Structure 1
Amino acid sequence: MERRMDGSMLSLRLKHGVHTIFLFVDALEPFSSLDAQLLEVLRERYADGYLTTSQGSTPIPSGDATVYYARLKNSVDPSEGWKRLDVLGKDTPSKKGIADNSVLAFAIYEEGQEPDEVEFLVDWPSLDDYEEEDAEGNGYES
């Protein structure tokens, strides 16, 4: 699919578990287009069919799927969690106020397996993670 890079294109960071997927999307196309693009990338990149979270693995549906999106409740404090976007048929990222370089969480469920309450699992790296890696990399023990 040929993509044009003009003012209607957005760069989005889509997060689930430990994964961040960077996509360029058309702000004027419906979310169904974003769904298809995201699922295509996930299926290609994670051929084993699973995404990793701190709570286990999330299967990537091989068939029809429902994708839910959420934005941070507080853009400077991710610990406050996510607010689900209520996306209807023809809604676009532009209509939902999604700006360039936005961070969105996503949750994927097999068609017909949607839960009553959608859970957005996002694992943020902590400073402790980096300090442990740095200490191990320099021969120090923590």
Structure 2
Amino acid sequence: MLPGLALPTDVDDAHISVRFKYGIHTIFLFIDALAPFSSVTQDLLEVLKDRYPDGLTKSSATPDERTPVPDAANLTYGVLRVPTDPSKGWKPLKLGEDATNTPSKCGIKDNSIVAFAFAPDDEDDMDAEEGDAVFEVEWPQEDEELYEQRP
């Protein structure tokens, strides 16, 4: 090795890439899988405040309606019930008291898709059947009109 030449830091299994979804947004974050979820939440909120100062868009049908990103918030997280079928909905993660569970303990792996929602203030924002948070995620869809316009 040449003197003064630093080797790049090795990436270990404790650092994973996760796609966080809300509304029409997908936020890619590189997180420490062994850090508590409270730390992940803090990092995610920091990115959201910086990248989306005007708030998050829930639907492409109503792009002017935005969800403001608070400075501090309780977030709930969910993973797809069936990884290959988003229509089956989301299974909330059990983060533990004060979000002390780690992503690894919750089963989050590299390249996982994780929905998030701002913790509801009242039961109106809860799913009536299961008592779970409602995760607002809009998946990209093909626009068939684009195909019809081609010569």
Alignment TM class, shorter chain as reference: 0.7 to 0.9
Structure showing greater radius of gyration is 2
How far is 1:96 from its partner?
A: 0.7
Q: Does 1:19 align with 2:35?
A: no
The residue number in structure 2 matching 1:73 is 81
What TM-score comes out, normalization by structure 1 length? Answer: 0.81
Distance 1:16 1:25 in 2: 18
Question: What SS is found at the alignment partner of 1:69?
Answer: strand
Q: Which structure 2 residues correspond to residues 84-99 of structure 1 after superposition, within 5 A?
A: 84-88=92-96, 89=98, 90-99=100-109
Structure 1 contact 12–22 (Cα < 8 Å) conserved? yes
Q: Pick from 87, 100, 122: which aligns with 1:115?
A: 122
Question: Secondary structure, in 3 states, of the residue corresponding to 2:74?
Answer: strand
Determine the C-alpha separation between the residues in 1 that align with 2:90 and 2:36. 21
2:50 is paired with a residue whose SS is: helix
Partners of 1:14 and 1:103 within 8 A in 2 = yes
Q: Deviations over 1:44-72 (max 9, x none)?
A: 00122x100126421211x3210110000
> Pick from 107, 112, 120: which aligns with 1:102?
112
SS in 2 for 1:37: helix
One of 57, 72, 82 as aligned partner of 1:52: 57
Counterpart-to-counterpart distance in 2, 1:23 and 1:35: 11
3-state secondary structure, aligned to 1:94? coil
Question: Pairwise CA RMSD of aligned residues?
Answer: 2.0
Residue ranges of structure 1 left out of the alignment (5+ in a row): none
Distance 2:36 2:104 in 1: 9
Distance in 2 (alpha carbons) for counterparts of 1:105 and 1:77: 14
Query: What number of residue pairs does the alignment pair up?
Result: 129
Unaligned 5+ segments in structure 2 are 1-8, 127-132
Three-state SS of the structure 2 residue aligned to 1:34 is helix
Q: Distance in 2 between matches of 1:21 and 1:133?
A: 27
Distance 1:6 1:37 in 2: 19
* Structure 1 position 7, deviation (Å): 1.4
Aligned equivalent of 2:11: 5
Supply the distance in 2 between the matched residues of 1:77 and 1:36 (Cα, whole angstroms).
29
Change (3 A) 1:5 1:53: same
